[in-house]
Structures are given as structure tokens and as C-alpha cells.
Amino acid sequence: MKRWKGCKVCILLAVGWLVLSAVGYMEKDDVYAGYTVDTRTTPYFELVFAGLHDGIYPWSAPQKQTVASEAETAGQGAQPGSASDQTVEAAGQPGEGGNGDAAGTAEEPPKPKEFVEVGDDYFADALFIGDSRTVGLRDYGHMDNASFFASVGLTVYDMWDKTITAKLAPGNLVTESDGTADSEAAGDGSGEDQIVSDGTDQSEEAQAALDGAEQSGEAQVATEPVVEQMTLEEVLTTRHFGKIYLQIGINEMGTGTVDTFMKKYEEAVQRIGELQPDAIIYVEAIMKVGKEKSETDPIFNNAGITERNDRIAQLADGQKIFYIDMNEVVCDEEGNLSAEESFDQLHLYGGNYGLWVDFLKTKGIEK
């Protein structure tokens, strides 16, 4: 009897596997058309589970997305001559049957801000959010005065849930009394790779130090970065930043569709803006991969990266959100990550992160 029960479980599992595989196979070109799972190494039923994760069910309407439709909607956001610029220009023109004088007196939208050259001090109030590529920038970019919330494997799907080691520059602590940034935040002098693990609240310690300094008339200025285990929301609510850089997206390729990725990406940008309303937000292009990897990998390739970058660029408004693409300084003439700059066709050599830093210095914004 027990043996028969065990057989029934095996039969049910086998039937379930066959049904899910059949659904995945039949809908691979319709409901799951936007997924880039490599079916040579991944069973078809994985499509069904991936769809369930993204809220896409076997009975959902087909999600086909053609290259032509993407090309029509892809743009560089706030670039001269773009569709967004044409819309802005049209807004100041009188419509048919409208009052030309009234349209002429309407307040014109501000012109997109232009990039300017900046120095190292520009990044003193900057926060860099990203995956392993940003980890490299933190470790090899010599940006000691900047703050980083970066971790290997970080994605738009889990960036708000993970608790990781954040490296925060001294200063810019938000006080509870007035909600403003205070440049005299206290630190413990920890090294870059050391994690605070005594269970104490760094924010409370810093505020206590500030209160003590006010009473004694002595200034307590931290000179070393604070390295602490935090969530992104904790970082954004305990510090005040003037610029926030978001460089993320390579790990999300192969999961969901471009639309599901962008939905989470846009939500992240919106949330960052809500928590840091005074900050400029830089949405950075996803760094390309090397030529060989791009030509042989069905998931991590430059065609897919370009498709996502085009969509990210559309978020730029030229006032608060700016799109920057550092691929222009790390890629070859064919648009692939240069073999001279990368050791694994995914990441830069440690000594080449200076190219990225120098590029960032050409993309300053004056408030």
C-alpha cells in the first residue's frame, strides 16, 4: 500500500511536469515570447514559473514585442531633435481654432540642462547604486568621498529588500529634528571593508555625538567613511544626497521581459525621487559585454543590452533625471566592451575604472 502511495506521488509529479512543459512549449512564441530563457539548457516548464513570478499566466494575452515597435519608441531622452523635444516645442504653439495670444503668454517649460565639467568634490554628496560593476567602481575608482550601495548580483527586483554593506561618506547625516543634512556626522573610523556588527544604531550614535558637540562647543567631524549593513531605504532616509547614480540591469537579463524589467526600474527611480526629492538622478546605461560573449550568449548580448538602454534613456527629463552612457569610453568601434579594458568580457580591469570616473566628471549638472 505504501509503495502504491509513493507511486501515485511520482505519477502526479510526472504528469505535472509534462503539463507545465507542454504549456511552456505551446506558449513560448505567444504568452512567453518576450522571455529570453535558453531552452537548450533550460526545460520549457521554467517559462511557466518565470511568468508566474512576473504575474504572467498561461491564459494571459500574448506579449509579443517586435524590434520594429521598439525602434519606433526607443529614444535618448531629452536629446536635441528627439520626440520629447518636439513635444515640448509643440506645447508652445497655438492649436487649430485656439487663441494664439493665450498660447504665446503661457509659461514655456525650462530648457534641458547641459552637462558641465566637474572635479572630485562634485561626488562628495553622491550615492552610487548598482551591481558588481559599481562594486568595481567603489573598489578601484578612488572615489573616496562618494557613497556606495553596491553588491554583486543586485537587481531591480531585490534592491529594496536586500541588506548589504553600504559605504557612506562622512557627513550629510539627516537629523530627526529638522530633516536637514548635517555635515558633522560622527563615524567610527572603520576601514572600507569592515562591517559594523555590534548591533548599535549608527544614526543614533551620530546624533548623540552632534548633541554632545553642541553642548560642549566642540566640533566632531568624521573623516572616515561609515561602513554598515543597511537596506537601500535606510540609506536614503538617514542621509541627504545631492546626486544619485543608478547603474543596474545586467543581472536581470533572462528574467522576465523588457517591459517587466522597465516597470521595476521606473518604480525604483520614482521611489528614489520620493525619498531624495532634492537629488539629481542619473540613470546610467547598462555596460556592454565583449564581442565573443555577445555573439555566443543568447541572453547576455549587446542587442538585448541596447534594447534596455534605449528604454532607460526615455526616463530622462533634462531637469531632474539624466541619462548617461559610459559605453562610449569603454567600448570599441563596433560597440562591444573593449577586450583591452575587460578581463572577463563583463567587468573592467581594476586599473581601467579611471575611464569611468573621468567620464562621470564630464557629466556634471549645475543646480
CB 317 within 8 A of CB 276: no
Q: Is 274 part of any domain?
A: yes
Asked if 46 and 94 sit in the same domain, the reply is: no
Q: Residue 215's pLDDT is what?
A: 47
Asked if 315 and 202 sit in the same domain, the reply is: yes
Question: What does pLDDT average to over the chain?
Answer: 77
Amino acid letter for position 334: E
Q: Is 365 part of any domain?
A: no
Q: What is the largest CA-CA distance in the chain?
A: 90
Q: Which domain holds residue 87?
A: 67-105
Q: Residue 15's pLDDT is what?
A: 72
**pLDDT confidence band for 182 (50 / 70 / 90):** very low
Asked if 177 and 308 sit in the same domain, the reply is: yes
**More confident call, 12 vs 141:** 141
Q: Is 17 part of any domain?
A: yes
Asked if 265 and 132 sit in the same domain, the reply is: yes
Q: Is 346 part of any domain?
A: yes
Q: Residue 3's pLDDT is what?
A: 61
Judge if pTM exceeds 0.75: no
Q: Residue 62's pLDDT is what?
A: 45
**More confident call, 275 vs 51:** 275
CB 246 within 8 A of CB 268: yes
For the chain, how many structural domains are there in total? 3
Residue 182's SS3 state is strand
- Cα separation, 302 vs 249, in Å, equals 12
Asked if 84 and 142 sit in the same domain, the reply is: no
Distances (CA, A) of 214 to 75, 84, 170, 207, 218: 52, 50, 18, 11, 7
Q: Is 115 part of any domain?
A: no
Asked if 96 and 125 sit in the same domain, the reply is: no
Q: Is 61 part of any domain?
A: no
Q: Is 110 part of any domain?
A: no
Q: Residue 24's pLDDT is what?
A: 66
CB 76 within 8 A of CB 318: no
Asked if 212 and 82 sit in the same domain, the reply is: no
Q: Provide, for the chain, the percentages of residues in helix, strand and coil under a 3-state DSSP scheme, each rounded to the nearest 5.
A: 40, 10, 50
**More confident call, 357 vs 224:** 357
Asked if 268 and 333 sit in the same domain, the reply is: yes
Asked if 39 and 73 sit in the same domain, the reply is: no
Asked if 210 and 326 sit in the same domain, the reply is: yes
Q: Is 62 part of any domain?
A: no
Which CATH number characterizes residue 322's domain? 3.40.50.1110
Which positions ≥6 away from 335 have C-beta within 8 Å? Answer: 288, 302, 306, 327
Per-residue model confidence as pLDDT tens digits over 236-256: 999 999 999 999 999 999 899
Asked if 211 and 347 sit in the same domain, the reply is: yes
Q: Which of 197-201, 214-218, 357-361 has the highest mean pLDDT?
A: 357-361
Asked if 100 and 242 sit in the same domain, the reply is: no
Per-residue model confidence as pLDDT tens digits over 39-82: 555 576 666 666 665 556 666 544 433 333 333 333 333 334 43
